[in-house]
Amino acid sequence: MAKTRSIPPPSENVISIIGAGMRIMGDCDSAHTIRIEGTVEGTVRAKKGVVIGKSGRVTGDIHTADAKIAGSVKGVLMIESRLELEGTAVVDGEIKSARLKLDEGAMVNGTVAVGRQEPASKAPPASVPEETKKPGKNGSLFGSGQKRKVSA
C-alpha cells in the first residue's frame, strides 16, 4: 500500500527575514510580514506588516498595514493601520499612519500625519465664501481690529 504525502497549506503567519549582515539592493514585496535585521536599499511592501530590528536599516519607502520599528528608516512610511516607533528608532522622512505609538527616545525628522487619510479626489475643495474674506477695519482677516470689553 502506497502512502501519500500531503503538503500542508502555507501558514498565515509567514515571516520573511532579512538577517543581520545581509544587504538587499532592490525592492522587497511580500503578501505577509517582513522582518529586517540587515539593510534594505529600496521600497519595502508587505501586506501584513514590517518589523525593523535595532540593527535594521531601510533606505527607501515602506508600504504596509502595521509596522514596528526599532532601527532606522530614511524614506516615506505609508502605514494603513498602526505604526510603533520604539525608543531606538530613527526616521528621516515622511510618516502617514492611521495610528502611531511613539516611545520615549525615538527620533523623527520630517513630517507626520496621523489619522485616517481621505484620498484627495474624494475630499471637497476647501473654499471660503467671498463675503467672509473681507478684512476688518485694521486690514486683518481675523477680526475687526477693535478692542473688546471684557466684563468681570
Residue 148 lies in a domain: no
Render pLDDT for 2-33 as a digit per residue (tens, 0 to 9).
566 666 665 567 889 999 999 999 999 999 99
Residue 60 lies in a domain: yes
> What b/e string do you get for 57-71 counting C-beta neighbours within 10 Å, with b at 16 or more?
bbebbbbbebbbbbb
Residue 130 lies in a domain: no
Report the pLDDT value the prediction gives residue 145, as an integer from 0 to 100: 53
| CA dist list (Å): 22 to 42, 55, 56, 128 | 14, 11, 10, 54
Report the pLDDT value the prediction gives residue 14, as an integer from 0 to 100: 82
Residue 100 lies in a domain: yes
Residue 70 lies in a domain: yes
Residue 24 lies in a domain: yes
Residue 139 lies in a domain: no
Render pLDDT for 65-108 as a digit per residue (tens, 0 to 9).
999 999 999 999 999 999 999 999 999 999 999 999 999 999 99
The answer on pLDDT for 34 being more than 80 is yes
Residue 131 lies in a domain: no
Report the pLDDT value the prediction gives residue 117, as an integer from 0 to 100: 65
Report the pLDDT value the prediction gives residue 13, as an integer from 0 to 100: 74
Distance CA 90, CA 10 (A): 34
Q: Which of 28, 109, 25, 29 is nearest to 72 (CA)?
A: 109
Q: How many structural domains are present in the chain?
A: 1
Render pLDDT for 98-149 as a digit per residue (tens, 0 to 9).
999 999 999 999 999 998 766 555 555 555 555 555 555 555 545 555 555 5
Report the pLDDT value the prediction gives residue 116, as an integer from 0 to 100: 77
Render pLDDT for 58-76 as a digit per residue (tens, 0 to 9).
999 999 999 999 999 999 9
Distance CA 59, CA 93 (A): 10
Could you tell me the residue range of the domain that residue 71 belongs to? 15-118
